[in-house]
Amino acid sequence: MKLKEVAERIECELEGDGAIEIRRVWGIERAEPGDLTFYANRKYVSALKATKASAVIHGQRDEVDIAAGVARLRAADPYLAFAKAVELFAPAHHPPAGVHRLADVAPSASIAPDASIAAFVSVGEGARIGAGAVIYPHVTIGPGAVIGADCVIHARVSIREHVVIGARVVIQDGAVIGSDGFGFAHRADGTHQKIPQIGGVVIEDDVEIGANAAIDRPAVGETRIGAGTKIDNLVQIAHGVTVGRDVLLAAQVGIAGSTSVEDRVTLAGQVGVAGHLTVGKGVVATAQSGIPNSVEAGSFISGYPAIDNRDWLKSSAIFRKLPELKKALADLQQRLDALEEKSKR
Amino acid sequence: MKLKEVAERIECELEGDGAIEIRRVWGIERAEPGDLTFYANRKYVSALKATKASAVIHGQRDEVDIAAGVARLRAADPYLAFAKAVELFAPAHHPPAGVHRLADVAPSASIAPDASIAAFVSVGEGARIGAGAVIYPHVTIGPGAVIGADCVIHARVSIREHVVIGARVVIQDGAVIGSDGFGFAHRADGTHQKIPQIGGVVIEDDVEIGANAAIDRPAVGETRIGAGTKIDNLVQIAHGVTVGRDVLLAAQVGIAGSTSVEDRVTLAGQVGVAGHLTVGKGVVATAQSGIPNSVEAGSFISGYPAIDNRDWLKSSAIFRKLPELKKALADLQQRLDALEEKSKR
Amino acid sequence: MKLKEVAERIECELEGDGAIEIRRVWGIERAEPGDLTFYANRKYVSALKATKASAVIHGQRDEVDIAAGVARLRAADPYLAFAKAVELFAPAHHPPAGVHRLADVAPSASIAPDASIAAFVSVGEGARIGAGAVIYPHVTIGPGAVIGADCVIHARVSIREHVVIGARVVIQDGAVIGSDGFGFAHRADGTHQKIPQIGGVVIEDDVEIGANAAIDRPAVGETRIGAGTKIDNLVQIAHGVTVGRDVLLAAQVGIAGSTSVEDRVTLAGQVGVAGHLTVGKGVVATAQSGIPNSVEAGSFISGYPAIDNRDWLKSSAIFRKLPELKKALADLQQRLDALEEKSKR
């Protein structure tokens, strides 16, 4: 594709030779002639001067040095333009429509004619699979489950009984949706009685769920993931959790039972959230934060237990110097001893 | 079912109209007429006044305000009564007995006649599956493995060779039992030699294991999970670990090799336990605790590294105020400087 | 096998009766007559005096007390000798070569004649599987993926499209290699646009990957795991990460996008590493460390955020005593108040 056409399709302002033939989008450090690359992170400013790419996407008003002869595509949002560029060059991969001869589909299940059901897929009684959905091998779809239009369910995903999944949802390999919540009642003798987990799980439109993530169903009521939310690998969502819209949950985050995570929250990797609390709209928590209590909308938090990010940074800086602080205190004590001694005389 | 009958079957004392027809158990905030709900957590005291449920389970001696006209079921243990109530209304789901035509069962495997083996289940040579066991699709059962009576093995579980599983064990989707432990010996040249992991894994009766959890086998000896223990999603149990009876391990807990976790321990979410140590009977560790050393029975611990919970709470409260503490120290220094100066005069 | 032969084959110096018949290698505390055990950790010094094993492997120069009549095998590296001994007694398990009748192999895929493809394995178009490779049930191998010679791919592993895996790689059950990276661009309206993840994943020779681990592919470029690296269960490797050679990543470690982990790094359990940074050669991080910035080669670090291990130990020891420190400060203030008062007079 000519660079001029790329620029038009990803809505960038072209500076340079529009006739260059672009064959792929590639990382700034390994790009070669014929590649389009992008710059959106200052860590790569020196790589930019040395890149062998034929063209670079960068911010509209960025004044950056680029290797000679490299064309520029100025973008209102370079990362978004990059996303669109990758999309342009991504190979279209459409598995064939229809049900593979080695799939096992219950007679009462309903499969859209243009959906694609791969080998070794198991579809339970009464399940429904929407138009254009692609189901990769070894997916289990339980009785009564609903998969919306244009979903992509990668290999070895479990969608348990009666789970409801909206349109355009993408689920990576090995994720489990609708497993039993961790709900047990203590018996007087110290053993635990399982509470049947028979509530629902609803995954709204345009959600993405990462590899080997787990989303539990509750005993009563439902677990719900709001539209547009993106969940990374190995994330744990417990029974009865409500996650709002356009939330980002990075890898290995865990959210305990009945908690509500409101719209546009961002939890970085390995964050843990306790049960029965509310993480307000737009909260951002940095990696490994432990959140024991409800958090006000708009907060930016860190730490274990999580506190305001700036306070945590300050306290963490002093934590490192606690031995000095302790020594300073001991010095003061000595000086004070001396002074007291002197004042007695 | 009439409320009177529900009360009898879950052993509660009825206050109100026993003739009400109950159709399901539901959460306090979303319950509607015809629903039975429950109250066991003070966070929901205002929801209780507003509930539209027809009846509420609560503690025998709780003096709580409930919306007018709502019947009460007084329970010795409201959460346990709730568990029994959910059980009452849970739909019975029994997949058909027998081996699905698309399962692959080795000739020398032994399957109880009333066990249920779903499509795409793989059963290795010499494996044995007990009476009433239900094996969902895509489960792999390795050669020589034993599954006890009335187990429920959800979809896509791996039960590796020679693993022994007791009766009434429930395993959620995607869990792996008996994978190779992470055992390598350092070679002089900096590379690592794999130590064959050929020990056993024993899961005793009434254990539950969560979705995508992993329980490794050791090189020698065994990994053992005691009767009645409940393990949540994405938990890691390393090679040679011994977990006692009625232990609760919440989601994303990790226990390193050869450690012993004694009876009735509770580890909250994301707790990590180092290898070769003992966590004594009844220990409770709060979420994200990191346990580097053995812990005495009965301890209640928190923190990284984990210490007594009360000490950790106090130290954490001061941690937040370290900048103030540092400033206070600097002030003292200045005052002391001034005083020393003065005393010289 | 006679003890004399064992000693020769694992290159140990024998002290005792070489004619003893050894039937297995077993743990020091549970070993019985006929067992060979090993001693490499001081925690087991008293177990050594009480062992019922017939022979013990220990360090060449160790002066240790062992129960009477127990033979000794002195080893330059006792753990390595133990590894070799386990290998000696490990049962050889070779599934039959050939493609199972219930596997689904695309016509254009290429399978070495002596590879073993189990039931319910799905192999995509153009995939290649090398000589001697063993593929267990329910493995999905995507179009164009390459599996090297003598790999062992345990049950229910996902190897996504175009992933390249070297020779002698071992992958435990449920791991996912090549899932889409967590790459989204923010749109102006607060929603997120998926960036197609179409880069490569390369797993070099002699790597081991644990159960339910996840290794993502990037949008552009590649994710690479260097030769000899060992990755434990439930580890997360994000898009575009580069892991060097002979690295050890313990269970539940998470590494964020585009980070580089150099040769021979060791990250203990539950360590988290932020994105776009470098963890230098030979770095060791203790369990649960959170690494927010690049780390110099050879560092030994701990903490959240991670700092030098010794500093962290000192600061953590004082953290526990913060209430005392605060009290000491308050005492000083009082004494200073009194002194100031006195000096005014």
Are C183 and A219 in contact, with CB atoms under 8 Å apart? Answer: no
**pLDDT for position C62:** 86
Could you give the residue numbers annotated as active site of C?
A: 239
Q: Which two tokens stand for residue B253?
A: 């807990």
Q: Which of A58, A93, A239, A276 is catalytic?
A: A239
Write down the H helix ranges in C261-305: none
Find the residue in A nearest to B138 (Cα).
A138
**pLDDT for position A91:** 78
Chain A nearest C-alpha distance from B329 (Å): 7
Q: Any idea which of A232-241, B201-210, C80-89 has the lowest mean pLDDT?
A: C80-89
* pTM: predicted TM-score of the whole model, two decimal places: 0.95
Residue C174 has pLDDT above 90, yes or no: yes
Q: Is B324 helix (H, G, I), strand (E, B) or coil?
A: helix
Quick one: average pLDDT of C22-36?
A: 92
Are C51 and C67 in contact, with CB atoms under 8 Å apart? Answer: yes
CA distance B291 to C243: 28
ipTM strictly over 0.90? yes
User: Measuring CA to CA, how many Å separate B25 from each of A150, A192, B298, C113?
Assistant: 35, 20, 36, 58
What φ, ψ does residue A191 adopt, rounded to 5°? -90, 175
Mutation choice for A interface testing from C176, C271, C278, C336 by most A CBs within 10 A: C176
For residue B318, the chain C residues in CB contact (below 8 A) are: 322-323, 325-326
Quick one: average pLDDT of A56-80?
A: 91
Comparing CB atoms, the residue among C104, C122, C342 nearest residue A343 is C342
- pLDDT tens, position by position, C192-215: 999 999 999 999 999 999 999 999
Task: Indicate the average pLDDT of chain C.
Answer: 95
Task: Indicate the average pLDDT of chain A.
Answer: 95
- The enclosing H or E element of A82 equals helix A78-89
- Using a CB–CB cutoff of 8 Å, tell me whether B39 touches chain A: no
- Using a CB–CB cutoff of 8 Å, tell me whether C304 touches chain A: yes
For tokens 């799980």, the residue is A201
Helices C322-344 + B322-344 axis angle, to 10:
30
**DSSP code string of A144-190:** T-EE-TT-EE-TT-EE-TT-EE-TT-EE-TT-EEEEEP--EEE-TTS
**pLDDT for position A337:** 92
Residue C321 has pLDDT above 90, yes or no: yes
Chain B, window 320-339: residues with a beta carbon less than 8 angstroms from a chain A beta carbon: 320-323, 325-326, 329, 332-333, 336, 339
Neighbours of chain B (3+ CB pairs under 8 A): A, C
Q: Which two tokens stand for residue A342?
A: 């002197």
Q: Which of B137, B141, B114, B113 has the alpha carbon at shortest distance from B127?
A: B141
Q: Which of C167, C165, C227, C172 has the alpha carbon at shortest distance from C200?
A: C165
For residue C84, the chain B residues in CB contact (below 8 A) are: 193
**pLDDT for position A67:** 87
HSE on the CB side for A291, CA within 13 Å? 35
Q: Any idea which of A245-249, B57-61, C141-145 has the lowest mean pLDDT?
A: B57-61
Q: What percent of chain B has pLDDT over 70?
A: 100
Chain A nearest C-alpha distance from B278 (Å): 21
CA distance B111 to B97: 11
**pLDDT for position B92:** 72
Chain A, window 103-162: residues with a beta carbon less than 8 angstroms from a chain C beta carbon: 118-120, 136-138, 154-156
For residue C138, the chain A residues in CB contact (below 8 A) are: 120, 138, 156
Distance of CA C93 to the CA centre of its chain: 23
- pLDDT tens, position by position, B29-57: 889 999 999 998 888 888 999 999 999 99
**pLDDT for position C342:** 86
Peptide linkage before A78 cis (omega within 30 of 0): no
CA distance C230 to C225: 9
Note if A100 is an active site residue: no
- pLDDT tens, position by position, B194-208: 999 999 999 999 999
**pLDDT for position C178:** 98
CA distance C290 to C89: 40
Q: Is C193 close to A83, i.e. CB distance below 8 A?
A: yes
CA distance A40 to B14: 66
Comparing CB atoms, the residue among C158, C219, C325 nearest residue A173 is C158
Residue A170 has pLDDT above 80, yes or no: yes
Residue B196's CB: how many other CB atoms inside 10 A?
20
CA distance C275 to C307: 17
Chain C, window 153-212: residues with a beta carbon less than 8 angstroms from a chain A beta carbon: 156, 158, 160-161, 174, 176, 179-180, 182-188, 190-196, 198, 212
Residue B249: which pLDDT band, with cuts at 50, 70 and 90? Answer: very high
A58 contact partners, CB below 8 Å, separation of at least 6: A38, A39, A40, A48, A64, A66, A72, A73, A74, A75, A78
